[in-house]
Each structure stands twice: as C-alpha cells, then as structure tokens.
Structure 1
Amino acid sequence: MRDYDEKRTQFKKLTSGDRILSMVVAPDALAAKVAEKTGFKAIFVAGYATAASTRSLPDRGILDFGEMLSKLREIVATVDIPVFVDGDTGYGDTENVARTVRAYENAGAAGIFLEDQVWPKRCGHMAGKSVVPADELADKIKTAVKARRHSNFTIMSRTDARQMYGLEEAIKRSHQYQDAGADMIFIEAPQSKDELREIANEFPNTPLMANMIEDGATPMTSVDELKSMGYSIAVHPTALTYAHAYADKEFLQELHTVGRTEKTKQHMVTFNDFNDFVGLNDLNTIEQKYSKAPMQDMLNQLKLK
C-alpha cells in the first residue's frame, strides 16, 4: 500500500521556503508516467485536461465528481510522486465539499483547490465567468479544513474574480479565504506581469500558485521568473493536452493522406523507449521471478530441507 501521508508531506516540502515547484497537468496516466520519468516532482489533475481526454469536451462544468475522482485514482496509481487535484467548486454545498475532500484524500491526493465560480464553471481564461459571494467559498474552505483527516493535506483557494471585478477584489477575496483556513492562494488569470508581482507582494509569507496557459489571459512567464517574484508553484495546465492534440492531428493527417507514418515517425518515441515508459522491464522481471521454473526450483529446495 502506498504511503499517501508521505506524499502529502513531500508536496508540502516541495512548495515551502524559497522553492518553486514546476507542475504539468496530466490528461491521463501515460502522460503522468512520462512526466515523472522526465523529472517532474509532482503531477496536477485538473478539469480542463480531464474534460478533453475523457469526454472530448470543453471545460464548462460538464465533468462530475465521479469522473474527476476516477481520473485522480488512475494517476495516483501510476506514479510515485505527489498528485494535486482540481476540486472545482466542491460539487455542491458544504456537505458535498466535505465529501469531495475526504474522497480525494482517501484516493491519495496531496491536496486540492476549491474555487468561487458559479456552477457550471468554466476554464478560468474563458469569457463569461461569474463568481459567488466571497462568504460562500470562505464557508467551503472552513468545511474543507474541518473535513480533512490529515493536516498536511493541502487546501488551496482559487478566485476567478479578477476578470469581472478587478485585481483588488480578487486579492481581497483571497485574504478572506486565507483567514478561513486556506494553506495556499491561487488568483486566476492576472493580466500582466505587474499584476503577478502585486499578488506576490500582497501574500509574502503564503505559498502562491501561478497558472501558465498558452494563449491565455496571463502573460507566459518562466518558472525562474515566477520564483523570483515569490511564487511557490508554476503550473502548465494545457501544455500536454495541446501537444497531444497537435501530435494526433499531424500523425493522422499523414496516415490518412499518405497511408504510412514516414514523416511523423521521427517525432515518435521508439518501441523500446515506450516499453520503458510503461514499465515492461519491471513486469518482465516479476514474471521471471515467479515463472513456473523458478517456482519449481524453490519447491525442490524446500523438499531437500
């Protein structure tokens, strides 16, 4: 059985002090495994990528609690690094928030974020968002803190108020969410590097997350620059999903029009590299250890004794 408490503690250490944790959102278990083998220290599970990989639909509040929980379990079972998860609005009232927190915690998540959008929510960089009164998410944060069974299960607040009401309101809400018990702060879609710096200056002693979405509302900023501003997490939520879609399109266009993969093959991993990613060598080792011949040898040795 995996030590989830160890992973939660590990996540806390990765986001503490002057460190910055670079994370990608994994749309599926294979992407999570490749990210781990590439050197990433934690994985993010989020609604945008899950809606695309599971339903081929946009992030518009279509996924339900069960689908997100299933994706979380899939990825936690695949990697040996901490997994942080998108909790959306908690999928209902405070009772549902408590259920979500306990279920995600039991599934092995290192932490969760909860947001103040009106359900059905949408991607934080899409137009047309709306938010609930700040007291509503503050109550959900309090509920989440009370519901968690391990103090090192990280609870992050997310506000989407910047788009509708400006940065000042988003910062004000985040202070309220912090007072309600949030361990980390996430203000979605700041619209300039100056706004990123202003957020960091407002929360100098609080772990902060920044969201780097290609073609999104926030200017793309390097991990090192975000670290210098004071951020603890830099997450790329769409990169793998967009890369997958691009690769699929390029490959399928060639296969459909040419009938073979001569051009796109140079951009694929090799047969052996892929087998390494999915752990074939480890499985072969187990198979050899417990195959019929070795087991018979062990039985014969027992008889001799």
Structure 2
Amino acid sequence: MLRERLASGELLRFPGAFNPLSARLIERKGFDGVYISGAVLSADLGLPDIGLTTLTEVAGRGQQIARMTDLPAIIDADTGFGEPMNVARTIQTLEDAGLAGTHIEDQVNPKRCGHLDGKAVVDADTAVKRIRAAVDARRDPGFLIMARTDIRAVEGIDAAIDRAKALVDAGADAIFPEAMRDLGEFEAMRTALDVPILANMTEFGKSDLFTVEQLRSAGVNMVIWPVSLLRIAMGAASRALDTLIDEGNLTTRLGEMQHRADLYDLIDYEGYNQFDTSIFNFQIEKDPA
C-alpha cells in the first residue's frame, strides 16, 4: 500500500514518533505514516546521534512503535550497522520487526547528525555496495529501501545528484537527500530522478522549514518531521518542572496536559477491560451457612 501511494505521486506526511503511544496519536490525527528517527532513539537513551546505538536497540524500539499503529512505519538505520554483510542482516531484522521500510546512508562510520558540520561520506563504491547488500537481502518485496546521501554538505548539489543516481541504479526504491539548502535543490533532484524523494524538515538545521504545499510543488513525495514531537514534549516537560519549582504544584498547567480520558481512549483501555471481563468474569457464591 505504501508503494502504491508513493507511485501515485502524492506527498505523504510522516511525523516522527518518539514512543509507541505517540505513533498511535499520529495515526489518530490522520497522517500517512510514522517515522522513527535514529536521533530520537539515541536521545531517548541519553546518547548523542553519532552511531552509538545498536541494531538490537533500534529494531526493538522500532517493533514496539510499529505494533501500535496500522500506518506504515519507516525507520532510520544509519549506515546499516557495519559493512555490507551487516547491512544485509539489518534489513532482515527490520523486516521481522514489522517495519515498512528503512533508509541506509552514505556517511563514514561512526556517523553524525545530518545537519551538523564536519560530516564525511564514503566513496561511491562503498555507498553502492551498502544499497546492493540491502536490496539483495530483502525478502519482502514490499519493504521499502531508501538511500540517504549526505554528500550535499560535503561536495555540493551536483555531487548529490550524481550519488543519488548511482544509488538508484544500485536498487534504491527512493532517495533521501539530506540537508538540501532550498526548494530549488529539491526540484533539481526531482528532475534528475525517477524514484520518490524524501524531505527532512528537522528544526534548527540547514534546511528551511518548508510547508507541505511548497514541498509538494517541488515534487517531493515524502516529508518527515523526525524530532519535532520529542522537542515539543521535552520543552513542555521542562516548563512543567519549572512550574513545580516556582509554584509547588501543576494546577496552572492542567490545560496543557493530555486528559486522563483522552489517554485511556488512546491506549484502548476499554477494549482491554472488555477482554479481561470476558475471560475472568465469574461470581463467588455466598456461603449457605
């Protein structure tokens, strides 16, 4: 279904889920899919986004998030967690976890956040081998394998287009060109490629925060907001803690909180309760004495 929607040319919106419950909220709000960011998974563990997380940690968290929604979930697999043989295992592990797709990038390992300076990318041959290994290892033909290239920040847009073409030739289903500077660069990618293109609208980065309509007009097929919900949640948590320090309670913050009733509805509390009573529904007979 994801492949069919991408082939239609429409733009699909994938907010980043920072935990399983937020994935269900994304679905409830009517978005097209869920994105699972490597930066968010690292931050959730109190680690910087420099390749410190393991395949086991990423796949496990991805499985927890994907099971909470019927939407397709796309996960960040960094550089594939090693050499081409490791990339192959990564793809099959993510398939088993119930993900709809992933992207593999062309940074040197250990990688760093795509919107930081000082990145380094591997040579074209190594980048191509990673994608070929991923495609060859895929067992589910529906699993989407995207190639992310970070070369724009290192060698410029022309080099990014050339790298993207090589990755498509290697079998990539879609291209994630990281840290594009403006809409014109997305349009150049669109003109050069015949596969779907993903735009990363992360805050405080090197790309302007374009609207969905602007990206649609530039020919983009998928847009992610990878860390946005985590940033908003952590900002709210920080303000709440300040209020506790200043006021001694959170009465003035109640209007900003998710109500208990909304939380119970989101986690389907009643559904679990009905299941529980159908299994354990019994009565204790009174002692006739």
Which TM-score band applies after superposition, normalised by the shorter structure?
A: over 0.9
Shift of 1:64: 1.5
List aligned pairs for 1:221-232, cutoff 5 A.
221-232=210-221
2:47 equivalent in structure 1:
57
Contact 2:37–2:227 (8 Å) recurs in 1: no
1:163-216 deviations in Å (ceiling 9; x for gaps): 11001101100000000000101110011122122222222x311100001121
Aligned to 2:36: 45
Find the aligned partners of 1:39 and 1:289 in 2 and give their Cα distance. Answer: 32
Farther off after superposition, 83-92 or 31-40: 31-40
Q: Could you tell me how far apart the structure 2 residues matched to 1:179 and 1:154 are?
A: 15
Matched residue of 2:282: which SS? helix
How far did 1:266 drift?
A: 0.8
**What CA distance in whole angstroms lies between the structure 2 residues aligned with 1:277 and 1:110?**
23
Give the match for residue 178 of structure 2. Answer: 188
Contact kept, 8 Å, 1:101 with 1:147, in 2: the verdict is: yes
In the alignment, is the contact (CA less than 8 A) between 1:134 and 1:173 conserved in 2? yes
1:238 is matched with which residue: 227, 242, 249?
227
Match of 1:271 among 231, 244, 260: 260
Amino acid at match of 2:86: N
Aligned to 2:143: 153
* Cα contact 1:250–1:264 (8 A) shared by 2: no
Q: Deviations over 1:212-247 (max 9, x none)?
A: 011211111111221121111011011111111111
- Say whether 1:33 aligns with 2:24: yes
Matched to 1:216, the amino acid is: G
Q: Residue 222 of structure 1 aligns to which amino acid in structure 2? A: T
| Structure 1 residue 72 corresponds to structure 2 residue 62 | yes
- Matched position secondary structure for 2:189: helix
Partner of residue 286, structure 2: none
1:24 aligns with 2:1: no
Normalising by structure 1, we get a TM-score of 0.90
* Paired residue secondary structure (1:158): strand
Residue of structure 1 equivalent to 2:188? 198
Query: What secondary structure sits across from 1:36 in the alignment?
Result: helix
Following superposition, the deviation at residue 20 of structure 1 comes to 0.9
1:109 alignment counterpart: 99
Distance (Å, rounded) in 2 between the aligned partners of 1:281 and 1:36: 19
Indicate conservation of the 8 Å contact 1:76/1:109, yes or no: yes
SS for the counterpart of 1:85 is: strand
Q: Does 1:166 align with 2:156?
A: yes
Residue type matched to 2:83 in 1? D
Query: Amino acid of the residue matched to residue 182 of structure 1?
Result: A
Partner deviation per Cα, 1:15-41 (whole Å, 9 max, x = no partner): 222211100111111111211122222
Equivalent residue number for residue 247 of structure 2? 258
Counterpart of 2:6? 15
Task: Give the CA deviation at 1:106.
Answer: 1.1
Q: Determine what percentage of the aligned residue pairs are the same residue.
A: 34
Cα deviations across residues 61-111 of structure 1 (Å, max 9, x unaligned)? 121111111111111222222111111111111110110001001111111
Distance, in Å, in 1 between the alignment partners of 2:203 and 2:144 is: 26
**Contact 1:158 1:186 survives alignment (8 Å):** yes
Please tell me whether the aligned partners of residues 176 and 198 of structure 2 are also in contact (alpha carbons under 8 angstroms).
Answer: yes
Structure 2 residue aligned with 1:302: none
CA distance in 1, matches of 2:233, 2:46: 12
Contact 1:186 1:210 in 2 (8 A): yes
Q: Paired residue for 1:280, among 261, 269, 278? A: 269
- CA offset at residue 253 of structure 1? 0.8
What is the deviation of 1:278? 1.4
Once the 2 structures are TM-superposed, how far is the Cα of residue 43 of structure 1 from its aligned partner?
A: 0.8
The CA deviation at 1:291 is 2.8
Looking at structure 1, the residues matched to 32 and 181 of structure 2 have their Cα atoms a distance apart, in angstroms, of 28
Structure 2 gap segments, 5+ residues each:
284-289
Superposition deviation, residue 288 in structure 1: 2.6
